[in-house]
Amino acid sequence: MTKMAEELLDQVLALSEADRIRIAKVVAESLDSSDRQAIDEAWFEEAKRRMAALDRGDTKTVPFDKTRERLRAIINQEGT
């Protein structure tokens, strides 16, 4: 990664979660279709890793009502 990219990444990571989500969405949409396959494969591997962590008891789930509250808060931030 270039120094400029590293500096940009540091700046992005310092943003609010809502802003980081928006940036991630725009960047993901900018990738061409051949990159999308690699992204899909990476997400599949991530899902398998997370399931294994759950099966081992290394992590815990979050109840849907808590997740919904968090998502609503993020959406409400985007509207401001």
Reading the chain (80 residues) residue by residue, the pLDDT tens digits are: 799 988 999 999 999 888 998 999 898 888 777 777 888 889 899 999 999 999 999 998 999 999 999 988 888 886 66
Same domain, 40 and 75: yes
Query: How many independent structural domains does the chain possess?
Result: 2
Residue 18 has a pLDDT of 87
Does the pTM surpass 0.75? The reply is no
Tell me: do 38 and 74 sit in the same domain: yes
Identify whether residues 11 and 25 lie together within a single domain.
yes
User: What pLDDT does residue 39 have?
Assistant: 83
Task: Compute CA distances 58 → 17, 18, 55, 63, whole Å.
Answer: 24, 27, 8, 17
* Whether residue 6 sits in one domain with residue 38: no
37 lies in the same domain as 70: yes
45 and 7 in a common domain: no
Structural domain span for residue 64: 33-80
